[in-house]
């Protein structure tokens, strides 16, 4: 492709990207998810501990996560988010929850698995629970098996004492329902088909693989109980968060304005170009945040705001790198036209290296760190990505395009010395 065509294409793409971004993120208030530290609510980090003291494995974490989900459902918190963090911890966020005390009390107990009698069925078809027949500690294991027809069943084994009582229970209840209950929520209510005397029990049904796995995990919480420990808890009042957000946004805007003034004073026309590239940068950045928000992958936290303020600096940095290189080559005697091409290529190379080094540390931070710092690392990475896109698709093409027209006629307007228009 001809360089000129490429330039026109790049600038066209930028215009479309900016318009697209604005459509995506406007109005900001509703398009970018606010994190819990801004909206208010309860955020806790729990670590799982097996009460038997064995090492934390994937299976233990599955059980812990299940217990947490189960309890969060019971609290009826909407928009709750439950995420694994690191090897042994789970982050639970309950935005806008009214009664934090109740939630804390519910989250902080060991999972309790029971097998209970079903006395009747209520109007909605849900079982009404009777006595506790067995507690989960008599279960020694659970596994999934497939029969010849490909139907899944969940197999449960009981300990010696448990098997004896299980035999009595099932003998007395053939044809009736029993319920498998975790933390007071019914997980499954199978009908007893026949007396089970050996302790080996198969629970059948039209399970999907996910359902079977869930039931297996539920039963395992009985065999290998998991207790959850609070490691970090934040109960955020909504007023404080809003206040910090207002201050953070104010700081970002003031910072941006001052950077703009400085750039224009120092670089004149080139400064205006830098400012427009900051505008493009900001648009793309917010567009990406809005897209991530809509998938639930991003929520703006206070450290995230700090990350944004910082990336404004990084974006300006790259822009200055180009301006300086350009001025320098013109001062060294190159024509504006040829300096526009060579200087932007060189400067983008330098800035790519410098940005990649920063990206490396942001990426490591994102992978390794726990808690709020990750939000910071994420915004930093997005910022670096946008910076590179803006330089390649906008700053270089626009300097080359203007280098062939306006700058040749009015070099002083762009604070360019030497070079000379027609040379």
The answer to whether 35 touches 299, Cβ cutoff 8 Å, is: yes
User: According to the binding rule CB under 8 A, does residue 378 interact with another protein?
Assistant: no
What burial letters (b/e) apply to 219-242, b meaning 16+ CB within 10 Å? bbbbbbbbbbeebebebbeeeebe
Span 106-145, contacts to another protein by CB under 8 A: 108
| Residue 297, CB-side half-sphere exposure with 13 Å CA sphere | 9
Q: How far is the CB of 251 from another protein (least distance, A)?
A: 5
**62 vs 329, beta carbon nearer another protein:** 329
Q: Which of residues 62-81 bind another protein (CB under 8 A)?
A: none
Please report whether residue 314 would count as binding another protein according to CB under 8 A.
Answer: yes
Which among 215, 179, 219, 172 is positioned nearest to 196, based on CA atoms?
172
Nearer CB in complex with another protein: 26/366: 366
Least distance from another protein to the Cβ atom of residue 200, Å: 40
Residues 337-356 that bind another protein (CB under 8 A): 346, 349-351, 353-356
What is the dihedral sign for C-alpha 140, 142, 147, 149? positive
CA–CA separation, 307 vs 107, rounded Å? Answer: 32
d(C-alpha 314, C-alpha 173), whole Å:
71
| Smallest gap from residue 132 Cβ to another protein (A) | 26
* Nearest C-alpha neighbor of 341 from the set 265, 273, 395, 379: 395
Number of residues located near another protein, criterion CB under 8 A:
82
- 172 near another protein, rule: CB under 8 A: no
The distance of closest approach from Cβ of residue 331 to another protein in the complex, given in angstroms and rounded to an integer, is 8
- In the window 316-335, what residues touch another protein (CB under 8 A)? 316-317, 320-321, 324-325, 328, 332
Selected binder of another protein within 9, 167, 292, 373 (CB under 8 A): 373
Q: Which stretch binds another protein (CB under 8 A): 26-34, 145-153, 250-258, 400-408?
A: 250-258
* Residue in the block written with tokens 């989900």: 69
Q: Does 59 bind another protein (CB under 8 A)?
A: no
- 232 near another protein, judged by CB under 8 A: yes
Sites for another protein among residues 181-220 (CB under 8 A): none
Q: Are 390 and 280 in contact (CB under 8 A)?
A: yes
Does 248 engage in binding with another protein (CB under 8 A)? Answer: yes
Q: How far out from the chain centre does Cα 37 lie?
A: 15
């Amino acid at each position: 492709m001809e360089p000129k065509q490429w330039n026109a294409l790049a600038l066209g793409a930028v215009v479309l990207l900016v318009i697209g971004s604005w459509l995506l993120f406007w109005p900001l208030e509703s398009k970018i998810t606010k994190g819990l530290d801004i909206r208010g609510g309860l955020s806790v980090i729990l670590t799982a501990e097996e009460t038997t003291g064995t090492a934390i494995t994937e299976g233990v974490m599955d059980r812990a996560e299940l217990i947490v989900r189960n309890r969060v459902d019971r609290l009826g918190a909407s928009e709750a988010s439950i995420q694994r963090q690191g090897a042994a911890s789970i982050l639970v966020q309950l935005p806008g929850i009214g009664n934090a005390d109740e939630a804390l009390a519910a989250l902080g107990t060991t999972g309790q698995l029971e097998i209970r009698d079903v006395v009747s069925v209520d109007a909605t078809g849900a079982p009404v629970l009777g006595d506790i027949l067995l507690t989960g500690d008599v279960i020694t294991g659970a596994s999934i098996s497939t029969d010849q027809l490909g139907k899944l069943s969940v197999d449960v084994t009981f300990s010696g004492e448990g098997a004896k009582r299980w035999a009595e229970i099932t003998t007395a209840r053939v044809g009736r329902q029993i319920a498998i209950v975790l933390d007071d929520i019914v997980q499954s209510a199978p009908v007893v088909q026949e007396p089970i005397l050996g302790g080996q029990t198969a629970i059948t049904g039209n399970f999907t693989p996910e359902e079977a796995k869930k039931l297996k995990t539920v039963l395992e919480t009985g065999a290998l109980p998991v207790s959850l420990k609070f490691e970090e808890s934040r109960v955020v009042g909504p007023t404080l968060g809003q206040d910090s957000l207002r201050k953070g946004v104010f700081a970002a805007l003031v910072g941006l304005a001052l950077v703009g003034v400085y750039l224009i004073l120092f670089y004149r026309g080139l400064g205006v170009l830098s400012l427009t590239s900051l505008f493009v940068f900001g648009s793309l950045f917010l567009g990406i945040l809005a897209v991530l928000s809509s998938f639930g992958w991003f929520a703006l936290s206070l450290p995230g705001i700090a990350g944004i303020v910082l990336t404004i600096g990084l974006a300006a940095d790259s822009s200055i790198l180009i301006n300086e290189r350009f001025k320098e080559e013109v001062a060294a005697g190159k024509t504006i036209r040829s300096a526009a091409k060579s200087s932007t290529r060189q400067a983008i190379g330098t800035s790519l290296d410098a940005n990649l080094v920063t990206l490396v540390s942001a990426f490591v931070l994102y992978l390794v760190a726990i808690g709020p710092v990750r939000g910071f690392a994420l915004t930093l990475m997005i910022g670096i990505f946008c910076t590179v896109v803006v330089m390649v698709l906008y700053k270089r093409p626009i300097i080359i395009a203007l280098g062939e027209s306006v700058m040749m006629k009015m070099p002083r307007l762009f604070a360019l010395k030497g070079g000379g228009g027609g040379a």
